[in-house]
Chain A
Amino acid sequence: MTDTIAAGVQPTAPDEVGEARSLGQDAWRALKKNKLFWASVVLIVLFVLMAIWPSLFTNQDPTYGDISRVRQRPSAEHWFGTDGQGYDIYSRTIYGARASIIVGICTSIATLLVGGVIGIIAGFYGGWVDAVVSRITDIFFAIPLLLGGILFMASFPNDANTPYFVIVGKVVLTLTIFGWPSIARLMRSSVLQVKPNEYVLAARALGASPWRIIRSHILPNALAPAIVVATINLGAYIVAEATLSFLGIGLTPPAISWGVAISDALVAIRTYPHILLFPSLFLSLAVLAFIMLGDAVRDAFDPKSR
């Protein structure tokens, strides 16, 4: 044990003394060695490719249903079999990635922006601003995501002619409205941790504007936890979209998504489990990839775990 440590430290030790590494560079070095990180990156790249160019993976038309070949088992012609409408499950699973990835990524970015800004305002200004903003955060935090989502989606229903991006946009908006408070709370507490540091006091004493203090001192030091949670939440939003679709209220046909496919497949689980298996598998892999990425990034940014 001591030998390996000594062997590992000695050759690099002289370099490391002269080299001043930032937290970000440090984290990157730790990440590069993490196998889980690379596994999740590969998966995510695959899913993002599927979302952008589904035709790279399949040349079948996901909207072509052949009623004479419904619920077929996997075969050479239809790798994953066909579903209850005679659609090719493989191509629908590939095309379904788009909805989940868009919902996941857009919702995460939107909650990070909204929650981040609100959390910084509450944490940085304090006093009555904090009191008011924190109460507003509490209000949205107290409404369960799923219930709020159901209500919101019911208030603005889709019909068969609603364009694809409007349907997806609504889901993103819903999840953002009820999802930002967790980021805001986190951001507020990390700003409160950073604010009393000497470098912030020094910047203030030198007459830096609040905007400058936030941008170049508070933000870089308080952002890491929020980014980690947003990455992990990305998986949760993908599941939330699927759940809303399962309840028949999130994405609605003709939009193709894993959630819609799973909810359609559930009726035939006893007789045709393969229809359920493939979309669930892809959905779970996508969620898994983002959770593993978040975990890896958190470990990298958390010096205590080393």
Chain B
Amino acid sequence: MGKYIVRRLLQMIPVVLGATFIIFAMVFALPGDPTAGKCGERPCSPEYVAKFREEHNLNDPLPVQYGKYLGKLVQGDLGTNYYGIPVKEDLAKRYTITGRLAVMAIAFEAIIGILAGVLAGVRKGRFIDNLVTVSTLFVISIPVFVIGVFMQYTLGIKWGIFPATVPSLDASTWSLVLPAFVLGALSIAYVARLTRTNLVENLRADYVRTAAAKGLSKQRTVGVHTLRNSLIPVITFIGADFGALLGGAIVTERIFNIQGVGGYIFRSINSRDGVAVVSAVTVLVIVYLLVNLLVDLLYGVLDPRISHD
């Protein structure tokens, strides 16, 4: 187990390096001048531009810039953005709110998605099954920003059930409920379908028949024997989805006025703020990889046949 974790952690290093390099190269290729518009209505003085470029290593070729950035990164220093604010501070605040949003979305996925999937799978071909299959298909085919704006308008503005926007970075959990649901909507549908498919497939397995034959209650047959085996692909999906939610939150954040990571990256791209973009994405990639490792370790818990030794 310990050996496995170490090996996986070592495998992450090239992935993180590669991903940051790609992002770095793309930021490097961004057209435009980061000093543009920094000095108000007039162009910046050449001295200022020279100092700025020197400070942020903008005169070095790409590999050297990247090397210098990595050197700092290894020491845990994410650098300062072009406004002189340490990126770490900014990111901590923004990752808190986006992280809360993503965790709540994951909770929706796990609870509503799995529940709907189980209900549909157990009653295959009946009304509830058709309801779940058809409604998830609808959710999947409507773009998330249409769902988001529509729900914000109906539930938030027209009927006033939920707060329509999120006012500040330390928003209450209640005000994040609607955004989190919108963020997770697509994945709830996927999770429900995935659970249903796997459950239906496993319900035909021999061990389920054995369990039923030896007189176990239906709850136990489905809930313990079948569901546990059916959940592995679902957990894999949810784990991989966490990173996608953090990165994909940008749309939801924009609709509900949340000052999260997505908006931060988007704004940093527009102001050509390379360090901020690369650092934000690096954290995202690392989180994604760690969550995936966690999921792989969970396999062993769900299915004792899978061992990591």
List chain A positions with a Cβ less than 8 A from chain B. 135-136, 138-140, 142-147, 150-152, 154-157, 235, 239, 242-243, 246-247, 259, 262-263, 266, 269-270, 276, 280, 283-285, 287-288, 291-292, 304
Contacts and interface: CB of A to CB of B under 8 A. Distances in A.
B131 interface: no
B85 interface: no
B251 A239 contact: no
B153 A269 contact: yes
B201 interface: yes
B15 interface: yes
B87 interface: no
The 6 closest A-B pairs by CB, nearest first: A144-B247, A139-B18, A288-B141, A287-B141, A284-B141, A147-B247
A246 B251 CA distance: 9
Contacts of B26: 151-152, 155
Contacts of A243: 143-145, 251
Contacts of A239: 143-144
Interface in B112-131: none
Interface string B238-279: 000001101110110010000000100110011000000100
B269 A143 contact: no
Give the interface SS of chain A, mostly helix, strand, loop or mixed: helix
B281 interface: yes
B289 A142 contact: yes
B146 interface: yes
A139 B250 contact: no
Interface residues on B, range: 35 or more
A147 B265 contact: yes
Report whether over half of chain B's contact residues are helix, strand or loop; otherwise say mixed.
helix
Contacts of A276: 146, 149
B143 A247 contact: no
Contact of B284 (A144, A157, A283): A144
A242 B145 CA distance: 9
Contacts of A150: 250, 265-266, 269
Given A144-B284, A247-B266, A270-B157, A138 B22 contact: no
Interface stretch (B27-35, B61-69, B93-101): B27-35
B19 A142 contact: yes
Contacts of B266: 150, 247
Given A143-B19, A150-B250, A150-B269, A291 B143 contact: no
Given A142-B19, A152-B26, A246-B251, 16 more contacts: A139-B14, A139-B15, A139-B19, A142-B16, A144-B243, A144-B247, A146-B250, A154-B270, A155-B30, A155-B31, A243-B251, A263-B145, A270-B153, A270-B157, A280-B146, A291-B140
